[in-house]
Structure 1
Amino acid sequence: MGSKASRIRVGLLSAVLTAAASASCLVSPASAGTADQLNASQIVADMGAGWNLGNQLESTIDGTPGETAWGQPVITQALIDKVKSAGFKTIRIPVSYLRHIGSGPNYPINSSWLNRIQQVVDYAYSRGMHVLINMHGDGYKNVAGSWLICDSSSQTTIRAKYQKAWEQIARRFQNYDQRLILESMNENFDGQFGRPTQPCYSNINSYNQIFVDTVRRAGGNNGSRWLLVPGWNTNIDYTAGNYGFRLPTDQFRSPSVPSNEKRIMISVHYYAPWDFAGEENGKITQWGRGSTNPSRKSTWGQEDYLDSQLKLMRDTFVTKGYPVVVGEYGSIDKSSFDSSNNRYRADFARAVVATSKKYGAATVYWDNGHNGQYGFGLFDRRSYAVTQQGIVSAIMSGLR
């Protein structure tokens, strides 16, 4: 399905690390209101349309994260307000930690970095939006300083570091209500796109279990918070099929949560067919039953495939009380090769959102901040203009 590296590097404008903006006015969670305790179907409906603040807090130079490291401007309240005004109700904020984590045994996270993460969270949280934060780039072998490596021989050290990191993150956000969702990791796998391997998958399951146990024990609202966990590379087949994914137990969940409810969500990503959604050439530019040129349409991955994939997630998880979040989806801009391409990008986005809703899943569009050839951008992060209103409108129509 293509590497994440090819997605995150679309639109890099510079290789100069700029220090993260200082956190001088963090919002008190109490001042932002308190969300009701929502069950599985309610939380998915309440999340509405989602948007990724990609290529920002997970961007890095030589293993040190910084929000402008890949050429994006400093994140502002005005940008988040624009995203909300466009109709989005959920923002996923990918976060890398890497060399902002100190040495063991306590593995302290740089306080300035945590402050900045909290400030960006507050931009959305204070506006009543749902916010997802994760541990994003720490598990990529091709990222300098990566350490959350499932086929490493240093699993004892990895697990200790992972536990300490999430303990600090969860405590920092313990007073935020249910609109803040924590995601254990991003696309963790062994780097090969074939069948999952063991014991690597077992290690991923262990990370998810450590994450759930650690967050639940961190106090405040963490005992009842919705937690998001992925399977192998967030791949639908390798998560829902018989390949080794194991749901974490939730033994430390707050007794205030009804016994018949879950508070764990399952994370998957959707970029199929990759030759349309992500492959950087001008060959496959159309998608779906409305396409007009068979030579520009992939031979697979059309509406029937999308339906079967989301139905599989529904049957495997949603019917058992575990909501599904399609935490990334989208397709790159190939309009320079085919002037009709943006129409099919909109069709694709509408179909992913509508099909996900049909099967009880929430969706979060992948925006990497880049507009133009091969970009996923929906907004100009400097002027705050909407750059792909057709896709935005398609996303919103998919929810109706």
Structure 2
Amino acid sequence: MYPSYNISPKAPDSTGMSTAVQLAAKFRLGWNIGNTFEAPGGETGWGSPVITEDYIKFVKQQGFNAIRLPCAWNLTHLADAKTAKIDPNWLNRVKEVVGYCVRNDIYVLLNIHWDGGWLEQNCTPLKKDSVNAKQRALWEQIATAMRDFDEHLMFASANEPNTSNAEQMNVLLSYHQTFINAVRSTGGKNSYRSLVIQGSSEWISLSAFPTDPASKRLMYEEHNYTPFQFTLMDGDQSWGKMFYYWGAARHSAIEPDRNPNWGEEAEQLKWFKRMKEEFVDKGIPVLMGEYGAYRRGGSSNIPKDLATHNDAVDYWLTYVTKEALAHGVKPFFWDTGGALDRKNNTVKDQRTIDALTAGGK
């Protein structure tokens, strides 16, 4: 369906390329540059300023030595949709930002993000062949362009894919397999690069993992916004109301209808225990590729017990970060410019940074 873009494969090069377990041990706190390279229309499409090397250095100064770079390729960055050829200017710009990270000893996770859902919303037998063809074409190009970066660069296959049954999960697994095959086929350091596959609403059993010709180079990724009503929900719904408070000791007596009725410490511990036992203990590093809780208090949705709310947000961030690391899970906080000012390289929400840092100690 598309031409092969693996037009210059190199001999495998394992120089300086650690196993996934060795690599994951080198990073602790991770940071997302969200709503930027995955924005339709490009880097500034959703209001983010152009990312500079100074900003990357600033992120590191705050204590984060790993960065996740959510990235779109399909919707607005194809020079030719018929051949799935990526605009070389876009490839070069993404490569430039990856270079900012690698030069500054920051580990960087580059993916094909939501991108209109061309993969994530099409884990179906009907779409299997066409999506696999595009997955291969895009990853052959991305992997070839980024091939000479050392182990600081990791690739991830997808973002929050949507499956609801075994048939759809099998299709998703084929997309992950195509990703691995495409990256490995380009050779060089890509023959040994750590690659990340992501679960969906259902987690992927280790027994169903894709086959990798490289030994011990796979990681697993899931996201953690539990409970959604506290972390991300921005308006009451018929099925439930927003939570403003979280944690057994941080419920509000002033506003009890905004206290959570699920998803507190025990739920978090259950999830981390599962990640540790199913993956970490068996030699598969786990990335919590996105997580976060955010302060309310704009023109609407203002907690009546604001002090307790802010304490609860701090507590969630510290607790989840701490438990992630205690269970061998590597956390990447989701930020879209709310905590760190990307234009002026200043801290906008010191409490959030302090809470994340406390969790990392």
Corresponding residue number in structure 1 for 2:172: 204
Contact 1:277/1:331 (<8 A) preserved: yes
Give the counterpart of 1:98 among 64, 74, 79.
Answer: 74
Q: How much does 1:87 deviate?
A: 0.7
User: In the alignment, is residue 223 of structure 1 matched against residue 185 of structure 2?
Assistant: no
8 Å Cα contact 1:240-1:313 kept in structure 2: no
Instruction: Give me the whole-angstrom Cα distance separating, in 1, the residues matched to 2:61 and 2:182.
Output: 35
Q: d(CA) in 1 for partners of 2:334 and 2:73?
A: 20
Partner of residue 364 from structure 1, selected from 332, 352, 355:
332
Q: Distance in 2 between matches of 1:241 and 1:344?
A: 33
**Are 1:249 and 2:216 matched, yes or no?**
no
Tell me, what secondary structure is at the counterpart of 2:154?
A: strand
Q: Secondary structure of 1:91's match?
A: strand
2:17 and 2:189 in contact (8 A); partners too: no
Q: Secondary structure at the match of 2:331?
A: strand
- 1:324-372 Cα distance to aligned partner (Å, 9 max, x none): 0000000122134132233222211111111111111101000122xxx
Cα deviation for residue 69 of structure 1 reads: 0.9
Query: Counterpart in 2 of 1:380?
Result: 341
C-alpha deviation, 1:138, in angstroms: 2.8
Residue identity opposite 2:100 in structure 1: Y
Matching residue of 2:310: 342
Alignment map for 1:30-179 (pairs within 5 Å): 36-60=16-40, 65-99=41-75, 100-103=77-80, 106-138=83-115, 140=117, 149-151=122-124, 153-179=126-152
CA 1:240–1:160 in structure 2 vs 1: closer, same or farther (change >3 Å)?
closer
What is the TM-score of this pair, normalised by structure 1? 0.78
Q: Tell me, in whole angstroms, the C-alpha distance in 2 between the residues paired with 1:68 and 1:384.
A: 17
- Residue 130 of structure 1: CA displacement? 0.3
Structure 2 counterpart of 1:291: 250
Q: Distance in 1 between matches of 2:93 and 2:39?
A: 14
Contact (CA 8 Å) 2:125, 2:171: kept in 1 or not? no
- The Cα of 1:198 is off from its aligned counterpart by 4.3
Amino acid corresponding to residue 280 of structure 1 in structure 2: D
**Cα drift, residue 219 of structure 1:** 1.3
User: Cα distance, 1:155 vs. partner?
Assistant: 2.5
Judge conservation of contact 1:288–1:347 (CA < 8 Å) in 2. Answer: yes
Deviations 1:190-218 (A, max 9, x none): 5xxxxx12432211100000111111121
Q: Percent identity?
A: 32
Q: Amino acid of the residue matched to residue 160 of structure 1?
A: A
Rounded to whole Å, the distance in 1 between the matches of 2:343 and 2:355 is 24
Equivalent position amino acid for 2:225 in 1: Y
> Which residue of the partner structure matches residue 229 of structure 2?
275
Q: Deviations over 1:43-62 (max 9, x none)?
A: 233111000000000000xx
Which of 1 and 2 has higher RCO (CA within 8 Å, sep 6+)?
2
TM-score by length of 2: 0.86
Please say if residues 167 and 218 of structure 1, whose CA atoms lie closer than 8 Å, have aligned partners that are also in contact.
yes
* SS at 2:149 equivalent: coil
The equivalent residue for 2:161 is 188
Conserved in 1, the CA contact under 8 Å of 2:321 and 2:356? yes
Any runs of at least 4 consecutive aligned residues in structure 1 with deviations exceeding 3 A, and if so which?
A: 34-42, 102-106
In the alignment, the residues of structure 2 paired with residue 210 and residue 398 of structure 1 have an alpha-carbon distance, to the nearest angstrom, of 36
Unaligned runs of 5+ in 2: 1-13, 237-241
- Separation of aligned partners in 2, 1:387 and 1:347: 18
CA-CA distance at 1:113 after TM superposition: 0.6
Conserved 8 A contact 1:48-1:362? yes
